[in-house]
Amino acid sequence: MDETISIVLFSGTDDKLTAAATLAAGAAALGRPVKIFLQYWGLDAFRADRVTADHGLAPEAGEAGRAAVDAAAKAGQAHWIETLRMAKELGEVDIQACSASMDILKIKHADLDPIVDGVAGVAAFYINAGEGQIIFI
Amino acid sequence: MDIKLKVDASGLSCPLPILKATQGMKTIQPGELMEIVATDPGSVKDMAAWASSTGHMLVEQDSANGKFRFVLRHK
């Protein structure tokens, strides 16, 4: 069994970024290699100057959802970037930016938070995913 | 019981308790014990799953007053 967990992070709202960071960190804690592929708005959220900015929530959140998420943050839920940094420190987590998304959004590698390891295309993503599971968020 | 390391994960939600456990295990030696306390109810199933997957042994667990306590032996 290939234990690698690959996460395609397409969405850029804080709730989905948090969900992705949680899945990545959990897998890393279990000792599984984790590959994260950043596309579109997921990639945009990793711009160095705005990782901790307010990225909003998915449309279905509504006002009650906003209040619940704010309460969780206040109660000690870690910010998604902190969860990812911790996961990276403790396990094997590789984060690659989708080169096509970089072109479309006019983002350069230097614009990204240093947590992003590199820039790759979709073929490299599939090769690295191997036979392991792929999660799309 | 000789606890080598005590980790307080109170107030932290998933996945932080198992991240704290992972972090703590890196600082102790094989055979040594780590105690971790969490308030996240999900940590009960999570800590057991984490232990079985990583090979560290969950040697003791109990709960009281909304706190869940685990003792793990480094493999």
Range of the domain at B66: 3-73
CATH of the domain at A51: 3.40.1260.10
In this predicted structure, the answer to whether residue A4 has a pLDDT above a threshold of 80 is yes
Q: What mean pLDDT value characterizes chain A? A: 95
The pLDDT score that the predictor gives to residue A2 is 75
What confidence score (pLDDT) does residue A1 get? 63
- Residue B39 sits in a domain whose CATH number is 3.30.110.40
pLDDT of residue A28 exceeding 70, the answer is yes
* Domain span at A131: 5-136
- Rounded to a whole number of angstroms, the CA Rg of chain A reads 15
Decide: A24 and A93 in contact? Cβ < 8 Å. yes
Are the beta carbons of A38 and A97 closer than 8 angstroms? Answer: yes
CA dist A5 and A38 (Å) reads: 14
pLDDT tens, residue by residue, A52-76: 999 999 999 999 999 999 998 888 7
Type of residue at A99: S
pLDDT in tens, B13-36: 889 999 999 999 999 999 999 999
B31-70 pLDDT, tens per residue?
Answer: 999 999 999 999 999 999 999 999 999 999 999 999 999 9
- Tell me what pLDDT residue A127 has: 94
Window A:19-78, CB contacts with B under 8 Å: 22, 25-26, 28-31, 72, 75-78
Closest Cα partner for B61 from B39, B44, B41, B42? B44
Tell me the shortest Cα–Cα distance from A16 to chain B, in angstroms.
15
Give the pLDDT score at A15. Answer: 96
CA A133, chain centre distance (Å)? 16
The count of domains in chain B is 1
Mean pLDDT along residues A16-45: 97
**Is the pLDDT reported for residue A118 higher than 70?**
yes
Minimal C-alpha gap between A67 and chain B (Å): 17
Any B CB within 8 A of A91 CB: yes
Q: Which residues contact A56 (CB under 8 A, 6 or more apart)?
A: A13, A14
Chain A positions in Cβ-Cβ contact with residue B11 (cut-off 8 Å): 75-76
pLDDT of amino acid A76: 77
pLDDT digits (tens, 9 = 90+) for A92-103: 999 999 999 999
SS3 for A45?
coil
The pLDDT assigned to B43 comes to: 95
A11-19 mean pLDDT:
97
What pLDDT sits at residue A77? Answer: 84
* ipTM for this model: 0.86
